[in-house]
Amino acid sequence: MTDSYLFAAKLNQVGVGKMFRVQLEGKLLLLANVNGAIHACDEMCTHEDVSLALGALKDNCIKCSLHGSRFDLLTGKPLDDPAEENLRIYPVKVEGDSILVDIK
């Protein structure tokens, strides 16, 4: 079994409570640091084509700046209307100071 994790960013690029946009193999992803835990998800809201990087982090949720829908960063489930479609969440591991994401 081959390791499908790809280098996404250095740990110091995603400070606690911050988000960081990256592109891996043509996919736009958003890295989010929630209390030291790194999460990775699709960068665009599932309701409208708006970057979630413009939104806000609180607890394990990211809030879209356009219509206020929140998504759980652990499950991808939308917590508020108008979003109904899950946000894709990607597995993450941190090795040393490198953030690795499995986009397969």
Mapping DSSP to helix (H, G, I), strand (E, B) and coil, where does residue 75 land?
coil
35: domain CATH number is: 2.102.10.10
Question: How far is residue 45's CA from residue 13's CA, in Å, rounded to a whole number?
Answer: 22
Residue 1 class from Cβ within 10 Å (0-12 exposed, 13-18 middle, 19+ buried)?
exposed
Domain count for the chain, please give it: 1
Per-residue pLDDT tens digits for 48-85:
989 999 999 999 999 999 999 999 999 999 999 999 99
Confidence band for 1, pLDDT divided at 50, 70 and 90: very low
Question: How far is residue 16's CA from residue 6's CA, in Å, rounded to a whole number?
Answer: 21
Question: By residue range, what is the domain housing residue 30?
Answer: 5-102
For the record, the structure tokens of 48 come out as: 């409208």
Q: pTM to 2 decimals? A: 0.94
